[in-house]
Every structure is written in structure tokens, then in C-alpha cells.
Chain A
Amino acid sequence: MKSNGKPKPRFTFEDPERVKQIFSQYPDKKSATLPLLHLAQSQEGYISKNVIDSIAELVDCHPAVVMDCVSFYTMFYTKPQGRNIIQVCQTLSCSLNGADELVDHVTDKYKIKPGETTADDRFTLMKVECLGSCGTAPVVQMNKEYHEDLSKQKFDELLESFE
């Protein structure tokens, strides 16, 4: 759809009931900003300009205020990501227990550095700060799930299980 001279394409939530439920939980509209951003990202994969405009309208503020929020939090992506996001914790306890090797393994095997996505969109690799699971280091978050106590071999098997 071209937007020149025509109404812009709009983003709409697939689950309006869930949106209603989110608003019902808070005493004010703006508190719903983060939950709505999470919901939109789970639907779209990232936060587009259209998402920001729609949420700004829903929570009754300027889109810049929502953008301010999006740019602050590392979990919100402003660009499309690979189908699977590999997040390797790199903070001290994980680093002392081999996290760097896990990052190198992905780089060697799939030819992507941290911050990059494979050409087939299968994986995006990220180095992240403390995931709060230092007792089972090294830890990798694959999409939403934690995988703990990873050896290089276990990590490799894990990667293979993602299409």
C-alpha cells in the first residue's frame, strides 16, 4: 500500500480483547505503554513506526513519547530480526564459564557477528548483559526461553533444533 496522498497504513492489534484487558488493569492509560509494546512486538516481530503511532493514539500521547520508551529498552527492536534470536549472556559469571566460546561458535558456524542476522533469516545473534541466571552459567536465551549450563556441544544441538 502506498501512503503518498492516501491515509497511512495502520497497525491494528489482532486481539482487541487482550488490549481491553490490559487497559482495565491500570488506573491510567499511559501505564499500558510497555504491555502494549510487548503485545505488538509478539505480533509483528518488531516495533515499526505504525505500531508507535497506533499505541500513541491508544494511550493518548504524542508518538515521540512512545518512541522515547522504545529506544530506551533493549528488548524492543525497531527493525525486523531473524526468526530465532540467540541472546548470549556475557556478564562476569557467564564470561568466566565460557560464554565467549558460545558467541564464537555461532560466529564460526553461521558467519554472523553479534548484532547480525543470517542471510536466510534463521538466526540473529546478540550479546546481552546479565540474564539473572548466574548459577547455571553460561546461559543463552533462545527467543523467550532460557537454556542453562550450556557446553559447546549442548549449545550446538540446541541451535540445530531451530529452523
Chain B
Amino acid sequence: MNTFKPVLTEYIDQKDCHTLPFYKSIGGYTALEKVLTMNPDDITQEVKDSNLRGRGGAGFSTGMKWGFIPKDSNKPKYLINNADESEPGTFKDRLLMNKAPHQMLEGMIIAAYAIGCHTSFIYIRGEFYQEYKLLEQTIAEAYDNNILGQNILGSNYSLDVVIHRGAGAYICGEETGLLESLEGKRGWPRNKPPFPAIEGYLQSPTIVNNVETLSCLPHIINRGASWFKSIGPEKGPGPRLFCVSGCVNNPGVFEEPMGVSLKDLIFDRAGGIPDDKQLKAVFPGGSSSAILTANEAMDVMLDFEELVEKGSMLGSAGIIVMDETVDMVQACLNIARFYAHESCGQCTPCREGTSWLVMMLTRLINGDGKPGDIDMLLEITDNIGGLIDFSKGSFGKTICPFGEAVAWPVRSFVEKFKGEFMEYLPQEKVVA
């Protein structure tokens, strides 16, 4: 398909690839050595110049985020590695933690040094117990080798890294929900501003970066911003881990340059659809993205800008494939139920609206739908996520983007597969 050589996952098939000796044997921690002799502002500039955008879902410029840390604040600064991977369809951070934990840790130390942080946290989802135990070893190895702790690699820089386990709440992947959770509270997202870079953990300046984002950093330092920017589209470049699951022969994580074609990913890398069934619909960027129909999916490049133009988003690059046998109403209910369960309950439109969606879809599937139900489903999505007009970027009835994250996919199911929803309406009522 192309000559791209994986960057983040190049060594994941090798024996003991998670260990420090292995990581050192492939040049691990040389970027850190280099960074420790650099001015922190120059590192931030290099990351800005690379155009690296966050891999967690929002796609915000990483260097710009770091740049918001106030220079004149005498409060401690915190770096938090968001390892709360919970977006349905997304399973790349787990792979990176299992196979390349030192690459991630090196990225963390680089980011921490750049923002002047001396205590950093890994917020890992509670269910990832095996990964938590493995990262404990990774961190212990790093302390034993003067890669963490006092005077890292003989420099004047010191850093401690602490692993903090979540406890089963999707919303804690939202950065301010995460901060509340870290502070020992329920994970209720905060009103913004102030953004975490100004007032984050314990009201101190805080940067929250995703596992994959951090894992890119050693490579940017070693090979330079212009190398990174040369991979894929300039506005959102770099290698990206695409997760393909659902109705495919060979599901998995595939590292490709940004801007790869969705068709190639599904039919080449992921081996196409079992039994040569037809493609019906695809989530291109986790379950919070609007679904694409088969026609739309066959003609799209996976790039931040292009997916926004197509009325969806790249999000966490979690691709869920649905074949012709998948009932779109059932699939919609499955996703609505996820959001109803995971709504944190803080904002009324989301707390109530998500449950309403589940009740109405269940009623429809049970054959008790009423003629106005399909329009009402759309109305509820508007009540939760705002009157959605992609061209105007209309948002905002809830404190965090969870409202949009449920409104977008549900609305896309109803609008793009309205016929299937209509078929569930009892016949005599359709006539009326």
C-alpha cells in the first residue's frame, strides 16, 4: 500500500520489547539525554513546529497546549498521562503500554521537563490491571537506572512518576473529569475556562496528554519537527495508530501515516469483511463520531480536516466496521446505552436525554413505536448536543463534549438509515 515504516510500533513483535535493556538497545532514552541539555522553551517550540495534534480524541495542538502554562506561576506544574482509554472502538494505548512502555515514559519525561513539572501521574483506567502492574515494573526499572527520581541521568532535573488507577468511568477520559477523579472526587467535568494549563490538578498548572501523543515525543526530538511534519497532511501530520474492529477478518491496531484511506485500512490491512458481505456503515473515530455510510467510507482519507468536512471526526481513530447484516437500530441502541450508562449525571440534558434515547429506541425495537418517534429522536439529540450545524460548529448545552459525543452518532444513525428506523414502526401507524 505504501512504503511507510512504523514509528511507534516498529518493535512490538520482538521478544522482551517492553524491557529497559531492549528499549536501550534500539536507542531508547537518547532523546531524553538530548532534551536534558536543551532549554525547555526550545522543546515546546520543536513540538509546536512538528504540528503534533493530540491522539486522545480532541486533536488539539500539543505544543500550543504546553505553551499555555503560565511562565510566572510559582505553583507546582503537573503532567498527566491520560491512559484512561475508554472510547468504544479504541484499543491502541493498551498496546503501547504493553509493548512499548518505556517509549511512553520517555515521552512523559520529555513533556514534564518541557513544562517544568516534577511530579507526573499516569491515570490508567481501572480495568487495565495487567498494564498497571507492568507499568509499575517499567517505573521501577527507570528509578533503578536513574531515568526517574533525583538528578535524572546526572542532570539537575528531577521527576517522580506515580500511577493512579481509575475505577470504571468513561468520563474520566475527559481531562477535567480526570482531574476531579485524581483529586479523589467523582469525575464531574469542570466548567472551562479556566483550562487545566492555568488551573488543573489542585488548582495548579496542569497538562493532560494522551499515551500515544506522549509516545510520539522521543521520535520528534530525535528526528526533528520537519521529519514529523513530512508524514501525512501538514496540518495534522505524523504516524497514527488506527484501531479497526467490528465486522472485519483481521481486526487490530495498524500504524499508518495520517491521511491514510479508510478503504485501504478496512479492505487491505484489516482483511475486509468476513464471508464477503457488503459494507454498510463505519464509525471513523470512535463511537463519538458520526457514522459514515459505505459510500462515504469508500471515499475518505483519515485526516482531521477531511473528516470534519465530511461531517464526522477522526477522534481517537477507533474504526468500527458494520456489515450489511447489522441492524442499524440495534447498533444505535447499543451506542445510546453506552452513553446512558456513562453519562456522569452532572448536566440535565445529557443525564435525562441519554436515558430517553435508550427508552425510545427500546420501545421502537419492541414494536411499540409511535409515528412521531423518529423526529423525536432527532429532537432529543438536539436537546443534548445542541442544534447541530457542522458548518457553524454549533455546540454547547453541556459542560463537557459528552453531549455532542452522543448526539452526533445517534443523529447520524437516524438520518442516514431512516428507512430502517421507519420499518420498526408498527404498520398501521405508518399509514396514518
Contact = CB atoms under 8 A, between A and B. Distances in A.
A129 B88 CA distance: 9
Interface stretch (B65-73, B191-199, B318-326, B366-374): B318-326
Size category of the B interface is 35 or more
Contacts of A130: 86-88, 170, 287, 338
A137 B251 contact: yes
B126 A75 contact: yes
A30 B183 CA distance: 6
Nearest to B85: A132
Interface stretch (A4-12, A87-95, A104-112, A117-125): A87-95
Contacts of A132: 85-86, 90-91, 93-94, 125, 127-128
Interface stretch (B105-113, B238-246, B350-358): B238-246
A31 B182 contact: yes
Contacts of A162: none
B247 interface: yes
Max chain A Cβ within 10 angstroms of own Cβ: one of B85, B168, B326: B168
B279 to A, nearest CB: 13
B160 to A, nearest CB: 8
A91 B182 contact: no
B331 interface: yes
B162 interface: yes
19 contacts: A25-B160, A25-B162, A32-B184, A35-B164, A37-B167, A69-B185, A72-B187, A73-B167, A92-B88, A93-B89, A96-B322, A129-B170, A129-B341, A129-B342, A134-B245, A134-B246, A136-B91, A146-B127, A146-B130
A133 B90 CA distance: 7
A15 interface: no
A105 B226 CA distance: 54
Contact of B184 (A59, A74, A91, A135): A59
Contacts of A92: 88-89, 246, 283, 287, 320, 331, 334-335, 338
Given A68-B186, A91-B338, 13 more contacts: A30-B183, A30-B184, A31-B164, A90-B334, A92-B89, A92-B320, A95-B334, A96-B331, A128-B168, A129-B341, A132-B85, A132-B94, A141-B127
